[in-house]
Amino acid sequence: MTPIEKRNELLANKVIKSLNIRHIEGYYCATSADAIKKVLGLIPQGSSISWGGSMTIRDMGLTDALHKSGTYTLFDRDLAQSPEEAQVVYRKAFGADFYISSANAMSEQGDIVNIDGNGNRVAAIAWGPKKVIFVVGINKIAKDLDAAVKRARGTAAPINTVRLNRDTPCTLDGVCHDCHSANSICNQIHIIRNSYDNGRFCVVIVGEELGY
């Protein structure tokens, strides 16, 4: 094990202990391949599953693995042929057994931070699906809640506005302007600090840099 791998494992274990105090399950996987196996192992065959706009779960191959398994009912917005079809998928997500997401940032103390433009992702995270599984790269762990929010707004959001080709100030210079642009993707900021329903939230931390 390299020094970086050891540090990642130690940091993840610290965060997992904090998550457990908040009634949130936590697991550490050193690689994306291990994380895919873990997530598939957490979801019983025949379950219905949906997910948000996370690039993490797409880039690591998790969504492809879910499709290839052939054992789940999937509500996949990526297959929608129009904005209207996508809206139907968004609403089906609320009745899914599992909802899969990443996080824009996490604190070492276990706070989970997500920023949304439309609100469908944070709405489903907050309420609806029976269980929510977060897959989070080690690069998204920040020192504390303040640093996590700053990471979500100052790092993740500007990159996502470029990816989505949004006309916002941060698209031009990569810096958050705390704007009120009509094209802003920072319209809802959702912070999980605790789970009322013990075990509804599950976090799989991956010892790789994933997503933004």
> How far, in Å, CA of 186 to CA of 192, rounded?
17
Per DSSP, 109 falls in state T
Amino acid 22: pLDDT: 96
pLDDT tens, position by position, 10-69: 999 999 999 999 999 999 999 999 999 999 999 999 999 999 999 999 999 999 999 999
H helices then E strands: how many in the chain? 9, 10
* Three-class secondary structure of residue 27 per DSSP: strand
Amino acid 117: pLDDT: 92
pLDDT confidence bin for 199, thresholds 50/70/90? confident
Instruction: List, in order, residues 6 or more apart from 33 with CB less than 8 Å away.
Output: none
Q: Is the pTM of this model over 0.75?
A: yes
pLDDT confidence bin for 197, thresholds 50/70/90? confident
Amino acid 198: pLDDT: 76
Amino acid 175: pLDDT: 94
Query: Residue 133 above 80 pLDDT?
Result: yes
The Cα-based distances of 123 to 14, 52, 189, 191 in angstroms read 28, 10, 11, 12
Find residue 201's DSSP bridge partners: 132
Question: Would you state the structure tokens that stand for residue 141, as one six-digit string?
Answer: 């762990």
DSSP string, 150-187: HHIIIIIHHHHHHHTT--SHHHHHS-------TT-S-S
- Determine what percent of the chain is predicted with pLDDT higher than 70: 100
- In CATH terms, 3-206 corresponds, of 1.10.1380.10, 3.30.420.40, 3.40.50.10420, 3.40.50.2300, to 3.40.50.10420
